[in-house]
Amino acid sequence: MTLTGFDFFIIILFIVITIALGWYAKSKINSSIEGFFLGGKNLPWYIAGLSMVATTFAADTPLAVTELVAKNGISGNWLWWNMLLGGMFTAIFYAQLWRRSGVVTDAEFITLRYTGKQAEWLKKFKAIYLGVGMNAIILAWVNLALMAILEVFFDLQGIELFGFTALAMLMVAAYSALSGLLGVALTDAFQFFVALIGCIILAFLVVNSDEIGGISGLKSALPKYSLSIIPSVGKSSETNGLSMGLASFIAIAGMVWWSSWYPGAEPGGGGYIAQRMFSSKNEKHSFMATFFFQFAHYGIRPWPWIIVALCSVVLYPDLGVDDKKLGFVMAMKEFLPSGMRGLLLVAFLGAYMSTVSTHLNWGASYVINDVWNPKKNSNHSIITTSRWVTFGIMILALGVTTQIRSISGVWEFIMECGAGLGLLLMARWFWFRINAWAEIVATVTPFIVYGLLKFVFIYDYPILGESLSSNPTSFFITVGTTTFCWIIISLITKSDSQKHVKNFKNKIYPQGFENFKKTIPHLFLAWLGGIITVYSFLFMIGKVIFQEWEESGLFLVSMILGILLFYKSASKGKLLD
């Protein structure tokens, strides 16, 4: 792809603004661990919420959506749309609780909730496992996605391709280390708007091209199932879009959102989502930021990606199964006029940078707060060490990037090795029989079960007609085994002392745990109202785009009813106080 002088001007302007925001944030942070990693706990809800949305908009996200749509039509997005249930549950039930906890990381929460040496061991293990190991893997697949884009855009190969990616990551590490979370959050907000606007412009240009002929031309060129929003159960995907067996449907719609740990969609909140909750001004801002994240992530952002993906199905029908995701980038390369190419390249660069900056800062927070002992060091030493750790994680991630070949394989590994842990992460706030030993078992058991199913029980079984290692059978087995094990351990081991539990309740439920329990019915109704609101808005926008006015009107009515139910219930549940 040839870039003009105006394209380079846009790219340079984007980089300058990003660095300027980071430099501005540097002057605003105070020299403390909370100042560096939580922005001084003073982020307004819209900045914290936009930062959450931007982080989940990685360079690989539009490519993943394109692959889903190319294979299964619009309904293929239910493979991630289903996670709204867990995300909304986190916003309604946990956002305020996390803000009250007063911790710096969700790993530190372990020693707030549990007692004993086992709690200290678990905190340090999770800090290293999440902040270093898992973080490096996540950053590596984000790097792979950027490399795929650069390869198609500029025909880069080999060491040159890796070198450009490393340079981009170094730039992100520099401003992340310079400005801490405040700089990450401010640049995230800016990068999100650039990325979203860029994708909207691309969708408009591609769908209105001569090859597509507008929305009417797109609809006439695609089979009807490609435009279906609702997946079919037990039917052929060749005529019905996303299809799945009953077991897969139950796993996706009824289990994944509460049972399996996944970065950015942790049941009950965790990781960088929890970090944004900690950094919010107060409990109300924490709730509003997390709710806004769910609305923007699922309701606002998907349609530009989906439109380009549908167009790519028409434009590039001969792409192989493994290359369908590249249809998005090919459309960028073919249909962007001079001057717009720089904007779309910047959009993807912004999506990449917002994700990487968050993960570098978040990962370093674990190492500094939960492994290294900041209480024994000066504030200057804390900030200096934090910056070195940020660069260290960057170098490790680049090393892992050279070893990973399959992004989908990494996704499957992470999902299955967290299966069954999610329910404990949600229940530990309310069921005080759970202790550190139970969480240790819930963390370790999925790895053991995963290893047995993938490398031992790999043969087909006559009754099942398939191997135990095949999805969703392996997922069900892992969830069931893990849940059974940690519940048994909770019941047979000694619970934490009554004094410790009482102190925890007083901190998390200042109005009394019994008073909180009285709000639970209202919170469930608010959860239901929030889900109805977001899904109705998502589907209404889709129907408007495809000029299906009657159905869009029905979804508008549904959205209004959802808003009313949400607002009334959230008020009674004291979420808006």
pTM: 0.89
352 and 458 in a single domain? The answer is no
333 and 306 in a single domain? The answer is yes
Q: Which of 7-16, 49-58, 85-94 has the highest mean pLDDT?
A: 85-94
Concatenate the DSSP letters of all residues of 333-346 into one string.
HHHPPTTTHHHHHH
Pairing of strands 460-461, 466-467: antiparallel
515 and 487 in a single domain? The answer is no
Q: Which of 98-102, 196-200, 403-407 has the highest mean pLDDT?
A: 98-102
Query: Among 411, 444, 478, where does a domain finish?
Result: 411
Query: Among 395, 411, 427, where does a domain finish?
Result: 411
What value does the mean pLDDT take over residues 432-458? 87
Lowest mean pLDDT among 99-103, 161-165, 442-446, 558-562: 161-165
289 and 389 in a single domain? The answer is yes
What are the pLDDT digits (tens) for 193-251? 888 888 898 999 999 998 999 999 999 998 888 888 877 655 544 444 555 555 555 55
Q: Is residue 354 part of a domain?
A: yes
Q: Is residue 186 part of a domain?
A: yes
The amino acid occupying position 358 is T
Q: Is residue 9 helix, strand or coil? A: helix
Query: Among 411, 430, 465, where does a domain finish?
Result: 411
pLDDT at 96: 94
Question: Is the per-residue pLDDT at 475 higher than 50?
Answer: yes
Token pair, residue 130, equals: 């999440």
Question: Is the per-residue pLDDT at 159 higher than 80?
Answer: yes
Peptide linkage before 510 cis (omega within 30 of 0): no
248 and 313 in a single domain? The answer is yes
The C-alpha atoms of residue 136 and residue 142 are separated, in whole angstroms, by: 10
CATH of the domain at 335: 1.20.1730.10
In sequence order, which residues have a C-beta less than 8 Å from that of residue 325 and are 6 or more positions away? 63, 64, 66, 67, 70, 148
Q: Is residue 109 part of a domain?
A: yes
What value does the mean pLDDT take over residues 8-32? 81
Q: What mean pLDDT value characterizes the chain?
A: 85
Range of the domain at 483: 417-500
431 and 319 in a single domain? The answer is no
Name the domain count of the chain: 3
Q: Is residue 506 part of a domain?
A: no
Question: Is the per-residue pLDDT at 276 higher than 70?
Answer: yes
Q: Is residue 355 part of a domain?
A: yes
95 and 34 in a single domain? The answer is yes
Q: Is residue 505 part of a domain?
A: no
Q: Are 495 and 119 in contact (CB under 8 A)?
A: no
421 and 291 in a single domain? The answer is no
401 and 432 in a single domain? The answer is no
Q: Is residue 426 part of a domain?
A: yes
254 and 217 in a single domain? The answer is yes
172 and 248 in a single domain? The answer is yes
70 and 158 in a single domain? The answer is yes
Q: Are 356 and 393 in contact (CB under 8 A)?
A: no
The C-alpha atoms of residue 209 and residue 343 are separated, in whole angstroms, by: 19
Q: Where are the alpha helices (DSSP H) in 27-154?
A: 33-38, 45-56, 61-72, 78-81, 84-89, 95-101, 109-113, 117-128, 135-154
Nearest CA to 353 out of 174, 182, 199, 151 is that of 174
Q: Are 145 and 65 in contact (CB under 8 A)?
A: no
Nearest CA to 397 out of 87, 176, 98, 131 is that of 131
Q: Is residue 247 part of a domain?
A: yes
Q: Is residue 82 helix, strand or coil? A: coil
What value does the mean pLDDT take over residues 519-544? 96
Question: Is 558 exposed, middle or buried, given 0-12, 13-18 or 19+ CB atoms closer than 10 A?
Answer: middle
CA dihedral sign of residues 141, 146, 150, 156: negative
What are the pLDDT digits (tens) for 322-337? 778 888 888 887 887 7
Given pLDDT bands bounded at 50, 70 and 90, which one contains residue 78? confident
